[in-house]
Structure 1
Amino acid sequence: MKNKVVFIGMPGCGKSTIGRLVSEELKINFIDMDNYIENMTSKTIPELFEHGENYFRDFESLACRELAKEGKAIISSGGGVVKRKENIDILKEESFIIFIDRPLEELLGDVDISKRPLLKEGREKIIKLYEERYELYRLCADKIIRNDREIGNIVNEIKEVILDNLEMN
């Protein structure tokens, strides 16, 4: 049985916030993949993107391989982790993948684009990424959770899914 949960979804959908809350409640290690990559490379995500998106994606793939070896964990992935099939294949081996599906209107309303290299172009880029990735998220997910209500309810739903489907005790 799988012993990790990986959250996927658009930038700003709530992967890290929800992941931290779920991990605190279940007392399971939380790993933010972007932070993991920054620690691995001693560079920020924007600095890595200065060398091109593929340069960053190579480190993201390496992080997927390394994190697949982790014990029990809740992992918040980067929004583009689904762009490489190898990443999902690696993560699916040991992880239950949950797509945090936040409505586009809400993403457009409050995503802080200053910290997200791919979103520098603003609203149009968010819409484009959403259109490119939405179906990928759906196809990769073992479970889809809508982030369109009170966060406590979302956390409780995810906890139930985890306890019903994973070996986390």
Structure 2
Amino acid sequence: MKNKIVLIGMPGCGKTTIGKMLSKELNLKFFDMDDYIEKISSQTVTQLFEDGEENFRNFETLACKELAEMKNALISSGGGIIKRIENIEVLKKESWIIFIDRPIQNILEDVDISGRPLLKDGKERLIKLYEERYDLYKKVADEIIKNDDEIREAINQIKTFIKFNILK
């Protein structure tokens, strides 16, 4: 039986904010995957990327495997988790994958790119990532939640999905 929720989506789509609020409301343990990666690697995400994206992705896959073992958890994944299908396969075994779909224009208006290694080349890079990843997010998601208005609305949509699918 699936006992976890994994939020996927673009950097700046609201995964962490929604995840923290929702985990409290549902009494689930909250894990931010980037924070978890920093803990297991003893390096910051930026430092991991300095040794190459592949280095970071290896730690991300390790984090997926470890977090997949957690029970009653809500995981806010990194935006690139879908770059390796094995990540999704590991998580899907016992997790509901929810894509937080936020329009790129909304993300561009307020995302802080300074602490995001893949976005250091500017907002054009974010648009390119969006174009590369959007269909992948939709393909692997069990549910797609629009985050284009109030964050409370997105949270309520997720709670409705959970009510009808998880708490049967």
- Identify the TM-score tier after normalising by the shorter chain: over 0.9
Aligned ranges for residues 8-157 of structure 1 at < 5 Å?
8-157=8-157
User: Is the partner of 1:115 in helix, strand or coil?
Assistant: coil
* Cα distance in 1 between the residues matched to 2:73 and 2:163: 13
SS in 2 for 1:74: strand
**Secondary structure at the counterpart of residue 23 of structure 2:** helix
Give the structure-1-normalised TM-score: 0.97
Match of 1:2, SS state, is: coil
Structure-2 separation of matches of 1:67 and 1:140: 18
Identity of aligned residues (%): 61
Aligned residues: 168
The alpha carbon displacement at 1:74 in A equals 0.5
Runs of 4+ in 1 over 6 A off after TM superposition: none
- Offset of residue 165 of structure 1: 1.5
Q: Which amino acid aligns with 1:68?
A: A
Q: Secondary structure at the match of 2:93?
A: helix
Give unpaired runs (5+ residues) of structure 2. Answer: none
In structure 1, stretches of 5+ residues that fail to align are: none
Would the aligned equivalents of 1:2 and 1:167 in 2 still touch at CA under 8 Å?
no
Q: CA deviation at 1:167?
A: 5.0
